[in-house]
Amino acid sequence: MKAVDDALKVTLEAIPGIGALAPGGVHNIVRRQGSAFPVVVFSLAPSVGDSPRYGGADGIEHLSYDVKIIAPISAQAGVGDLVELVHAALQGQPLTLAGLDHMQTLRERRIPNYPETTNGVTYLHRGGTYTVSVSHPV
């Protein structure tokens, strides 16, 4: 949902020191090719399918987003701090949404370190899955 995507990007980019801790920036869905590491990537979680909706067009939606920090296994300095800063910026904090009312943002689960090897480089993904609950104004 574009309004939530935009709000997450603005919120994550506003984290104090984000430029130094994540020189690759904040990206929706995929990291821009050629950007530095570490990088923050968020995307609507694939397991969501159709988000639950209550009350028709003016109902409530619960959208799950994976928010991950990705960095080469050889460059993990500061990644733990970045994971905690991202969590503090999202967990229970308000989001400013265009055309929607924000209800809450809560972490569903942690995304533990998991490796991915691309072109001979192993990257670790760390972060969490957050549920963003919004309502459509009447």
Is the bond preceding 72 in cis, omega lying within 30 degrees of 0? Answer: no
- Does pLDDT of 48 surpass 50? no
Answer yes or no: are the C-beta atoms of 58 and 138 closer than 8 Å: yes
81-101 pLDDT per residue, tens: 999 999 999 999 999 999 999
User: What average pLDDT does this structure show over 13-40?
Assistant: 90
pTM score above 0.85: yes
Residue linked to tokens 């991915």: 116
Quick one: how far is CA 126 from the chain centroid? 11
Determine the pLDDT at residue 37: 93
Answer yes or no: are the C-beta atoms of 27 and 68 closer than 8 Å: no
Q: Phi and psi of 133, rounded to 5°?
A: -100, 125
Query: CATH classification of 2-135, choosing from 3.30.70, 3.30.2000, 1.20.1250, 1.10.3470?
Result: 3.30.2000
Confidence of residue 45 (pLDDT cuts 50, 70, 90): confident
Determine the pLDDT at residue 29: 87
Residue partners of 33: CB distance under 8 A and separation at least 6 = none
